[in-house]
Amino acid sequence: MFIEINEVNKQYSDKENRPVDVLKDINLSVEKGQFVSILGPSGCGKSTLLSIVAGLTKTTSGHIQIDGKTITKPGKDRGMVFQQAALFPWLTVMENVTFPLKKEMKKKDAEEAALKYLQKVQLGKYISHYPHELSGGMQQRVAIARALAMNPETLLMDEPFGALDEQTRSRLHGQLETIWTETKKTILFVTHSISESIKLSDRIIVMGTKPGTILQDIMVDIPRPREEHKKEMLEIEEHIMKYLKKEIDKVVSEELQYANSH
């Protein structure tokens, strides 16, 4: 297996300094080139898990290996795309994408790599624009191009389309699918959208909350493009919804209890 997540636990301390389990006994193996979505309600620890794979957050116990190497810190082998594009407002599109490449290659080579991926996300004409001149969807495409230009083996995406409108999101789904097909990157994709996970993934990891655990590991054996297979997609959606309904009810119940006690 390419990514091995073994017995990962993560605890934080609450206001009274009591340990709170965010992730408990997470075990997950991912093959090279797989597109895997991590799906679950808010607070289930899916973003924390992605952050641990990125090397940005430490586990309380357990470990993660990628291609046989144990992960202890961020590395060039993993590219990260966040929910917000996190672009430098004072740099152009080209400068934003080449920024992390400067230490690795000559300016000309960095610009060639940047242009290649900006063209893949259909922003080749916007290299001289600044972030404030772009829509939210375009900014997110710049962030994806920046991550891909570093040529990581694994792309980690934390709800990258969560803040976008439905039409923009749908268009970016198509672009991401094309990029994934062409580059054969391994993708871990965090989302709370069931339909998004079914549309994009080979496999969906459904997480429960309080503590964050893996409830289901679902293979999506539907031919692409998947819009043509609405019936099969709906069946998987209903199956996942049954599991998630219990988890969402649990979150709502706890929030009501907290509100009533304060």
- Does 256 score more than 90 pLDDT? no
Q: What is residue 258's predicted lDDT score, i.e. its pLDDT?
A: 65
What residues contact residue 188 under an 8 Å CB cut-off, 6+ apart? Answer: 3, 30, 36, 38, 50, 53, 154, 155, 156, 157
Domain boundaries, the chain: 3-77+154-261, 86-151
47-77: burial string, b at 16+ Cβ within 10 Å, e else: bbbbbbbbbeeebeebebebeeeebeeeeeb
- Does 259 score more than 90 pLDDT? no
Distance CA 107, CA 112 (A): 9
Average pLDDT of the chain is 91
- Does 61 score more than 70 pLDDT? yes
Tens of pLDDT, residue by residue over 95-138, are 999 999 988 889 999 999 999 999 989 999 999 999 999 999 99
Give the pLDDT mean for 160-178: 89
Confidence of residue 251 (pLDDT cuts 50, 70, 90): low
The alpha carbon of residue 139 and the mean position of all alpha carbons in its chain are separated, in whole angstroms, by 16
Tens of pLDDT, residue by residue over 140-164, are 999 999 999 999 999 999 999 988 8
Which of the four CATH numbers 3.60.20.10, 1.10.760.10, 3.40.50.150, 3.40.50.300 does domain 3-77+154-261 have? Answer: 3.40.50.300
Token representation of residue 23: 């992730």
Cβ–Cβ under 8 Å, residues 189 and 37: yes
Q: What is residue 153's predicted lDDT score, i.e. its pLDDT?
A: 94
Number of H helices and E strands in the chain, helices first, is: 7, 10
SS3 63: strand
> SS in 3 state form for 155-184?
EEEECCCCCCCHHHHHHHHHHHHHHHHHHC
Distance CA 69, CA 66 (A): 5
User: Looking at the DSSP assignment, which residues form a beta bridge with residue 190?
Assistant: 38, 158
